[in-house]
Structure 1
Amino acid sequence: MGEAVRPGQPRQRREGSERRLIVIVAEPDFLIECLSEALKRRFSDHEILVDREAENLLRTHRARMDLMLFHGKDATDIARILTDMEAETASISIGILIGDSVALDPIVGLLAEDRHIDGILPLDVRLDVFLTGVELLIKGGEHFPSTLLRRLKSPEKAGMPVSPSASPLPAMHEAHLTVREVEILDLLCKGTQNKLIAHNLKLSENTIKAHVRSIYKKLRVKNRTEAALSSFGMINID
């Protein structure tokens, strides 16, 4: 599998006398134990920590963290954590480990598009390729495999499946959305690009953009990730 580095300003790294940290937010099962051992051998200058709760790790070790990796967590939970704790994670590289490079959850795609995460690391690649991706993230770069980048640019056109396991979230704000806006919001949450939404609904792209701006204003959000998080639950339709 090829890989692509997305341009962007690297996160600032903080100097310190203590050992830097790579943390994994996951259940401590056999796979995570093996990954931790591989990371220890490759990055001997870092300490590897595993915890089920990202908040616990950030509360205790944020100052020493270089990289936080999520594995086996529901994408909507990851999105909620990263949006709620944006200030705390500003200087930390964030990566998501996925077991299947084909079935990418749409919410993960939105997190990548809105730059809440710095990398998506498939586990179905050779170990040396995986560790190279981790190293890139530690150094403040970004790592998104090229096949996934193509899906992020045009999910439906590339045939990216929508995860059936995506669970509804409580609404952040109630909103009075029109039937058309609800229809567009549903497509936004599935990762559909504006051009495809316009094609599907037989509207102009400028009209879709106007609807999207209206949706963001009503939901009081700034991007697709926040819209996806706030869209589920009690939405009043005019």
Structure 2
Amino acid sequence: MIEVDALDVHYGDFQALFGVSLSLARGRALALAGANGAGKTTLLRALMGAHLPSAGTVRYEGADVTALPPHDRVRRGIAMVPEGRRLFPSLTAEENIKVGAVRAASPDWPLARIYDFLPLAATVRDRRASALSGGERQAVAIARALASGPRLLLLDEISLGLAPGVVEQVYEVVRGLRESGATLLIVEQDLDRALGACDDVVCLLEGRVALTSETAAASREDVVAAYFGTEGPHS
């Protein structure tokens, strides 16, 4: 569904990604692992069109989308749940969700289905985002992304700052998305969660790909070795 080939990304004179390549097949889930500063969020922003690369290509469903702006990628079926949720604090939860449908409303994800899928979002639909807990904000952020009817969903640090019980609820949503046939790319610091929820894993180290594997073929020790740049069986 999406192919990244030799992607370089800069912030001014600072280079954040170096020749990153990966691919993700339709209906699969990929865990993107790596320490803080490894380039995970930068890569997601490049896939979403929020940060244009200085070299390399991004192909989505066979088409070159490297230079497309974010709203065009949303129309094509890519959506992102950003780190920190990024809700509009003065809007209600439901108003935030409807923002996701402005550019690409989908008959596959009407509000009724979204609320069935995310009951936590339904219970707070009339509350302002500024008054929501972390878990409630995450549910609303996922609902907002679903409102655009994505075929590829990018989820950045989906469990960050959440209580363990809420994290379990979030991963119930991830399992439901997988059962619905969604294609997922998940940035997650919790390696056990990431490896348990995904088919494939890519680990970044200082802006470079340190490991690419199916999760069934990579042990936790392999991923940890790639994460820290130490010797390991598949490093």
- TM-score normalised by structure 2 residue count: 0.29
Name the structure where strand makes up a greater proportion of residues: 2
Name the structure where helix makes up a greater proportion of residues: 1
Query: Which one scores higher on RCO, CA 8 angstroms, separation ≥ 6?
Result: 2
- TM-score normalised by structure 1 residue count: 0.29
